[in-house]
Amino acid sequence: MQGLESPDSVWLRHFTEQEYDQVLAQAPLCGQTRTDKRRGRRDFIARWPDLAAWCQAPLMDRLLHPAAGASPHGEHVVAGQRFYLCALAMAGRVRVDYPWLLLHRLTNLLNNSGLMLGLGPGWLDVPIKEAQRIGYEMQTARRCLHHACLRVGLTKGDPRWEHTTAADLHRQRDEIIAMARRPDIAQLRAASIAAPDVATWYRSMRTNPHVAHVVLHSLGIITEPALITSIATQPHALPIAPAPMEQAIARYIECVAPNRGRHRDNLRGRLRTLTTWLGVHHPAVTSFTQLTRQHVEEFITWVNTDYRHYRTDALVSIDTRRQTLSVLNVFLRKTLAWGWTAVPDRPLVSHLDLPKTIQRVPRYLPADQLTAIAEAIQPEPHL
């Protein structure tokens, strides 16, 4: 792994005990909290006496998460180590990288402990209020701004959110995308507690820099407007269909789902499943008018026998198969009824082509079990 700083950097030095006490004196702390943070410093130095070695170590070795089943006190001590490293970053003594920052929640920096680093409660009250003014919900605004601005501040060693630039947020977006694409992300996420799985984490994190950009632009901090573009990697996104097909799909979606984003995406995805299959098996078919029943029958066979999930490579569920063919059936029948010329001139799919759902039936009871039940429910004789 590429080191974050050269080994001879003059900044790679730990706080002395006296220096760290001066940091801790910047906020009112109870005795136990102060003790945990001091112990966090001692434990971190014991493990990483050379900060240059920490910078150059693999990411997995640098993560600071409690061990599985750790006691609450043990969690506080590990949080003390994280806080100590963040204090070093804010003091310009070490540079923390985005992969490390993205795999830690760092929520303790938003309470009184954060006051020692120029953060803490009330740190983002102005942009949060502005976010609400322009239409964001309080919870969304607080979460997105905290996640985005906190990490920008730690990478720069500057707690002033007013110094956040568009380049800072573009970089954060790119780092989130790069993290989601890492081949070892499953192993790294196993050590992180921010979300139950990578997909959930990614969907949540990718919105943070965009919301922060919108709000800071509204405040005049960033002059460059935030572009409304997707930052999803979408490795499974299906290719665009040939122009005549894509135009028919877009026109159909505008007719049946003009204002429903997720429904529109689902319809487009199901119809592109057909056009993508045609591109592989019948590339000469570039318009729905060329579609025949033979093509449809081959497609139905493929859907029922070899349609696989893009990520797991397992056969898709019966519900996915039914939905794919149902969307195609409705699309062809509605556009035919509307008199469109860019679609086949006769129905090619019917409800009879949809795979049958599994009908659940009660489990058969053996005779001895049935007899026991019958005897148990016999009415008791009157007393």
CA distance 142 to 145: 5
Same-domain status, 347 and 248: yes
- Least confident piece of the model among 306-315, 344-353, 355-364: 355-364
Same-domain status, 193 and 272: no
Q: What is the mean pLDDT of residues 269-282?
A: 93
Provide the pLDDT for residue 8. 45
CA distance 318 to 356: 8
Same-domain status, 136 and 65: no
End residue of a domain, out of 209, 235, 261: 235
Is 53 a residue whose pLDDT tops 90? Answer: yes
Same-domain status, 171 and 141: yes
Neighbours of 273 (CB within 10 A): 21
Q: What is the mean pLDDT of residues 37-41?
A: 91
Number of domains in the chain: 3
Does residue 107 lie in a domain region? no
Does residue 70 lie in a domain region? yes
Please state, for a pLDDT cut of 70, what percent of the chain lies above it.
85
4 lies in which domain range? 1-96
Same-domain status, 15 and 33: yes
Does residue 257 lie in a domain region? yes
Does residue 77 lie in a domain region? yes
Could you tell me the pLDDT band of residue 108, with boundaries at 50, 70 and 90? confident
Q: Which residues contact 4 (CB under 8 A, 6 or more apart)?
A: 55, 56, 94, 95, 96, 97
Q: In what helix (H) or strand (E) does residue 150 lie, and over which residues does it extend? A: helix 138-156
Does residue 153 lie in a domain region? yes
Higher pLDDT, 266 or 201: 266
Same-domain status, 127 and 226: yes
End residue of a domain, out of 208, 235, 262: 235
Does residue 289 lie in a domain region? yes
Same-domain status, 257 and 206: no
User: Residue 315 forms beta bridges with which residues?
Assistant: 308
Could you tell me the pLDDT band of residue 74, with boundaries at 50, 70 and 90? low
Provide the pLDDT for residue 164. 96
Could you tell me the pLDDT band of residue 190, with boundaries at 50, 70 and 90? low
Same-domain status, 258 and 303: yes
Half-sphere exposure for 286 (CA within 13 Å, toward CB): 4
Same-domain status, 155 and 183: yes
Same-domain status, 226 and 282: no
Provide the pLDDT for residue 3. 36
Using an 8 Å Cβ cutoff, are 106 and 86 in contact?
Answer: yes
Does residue 117 lie in a domain region? no
Higher pLDDT, 138 or 363: 138
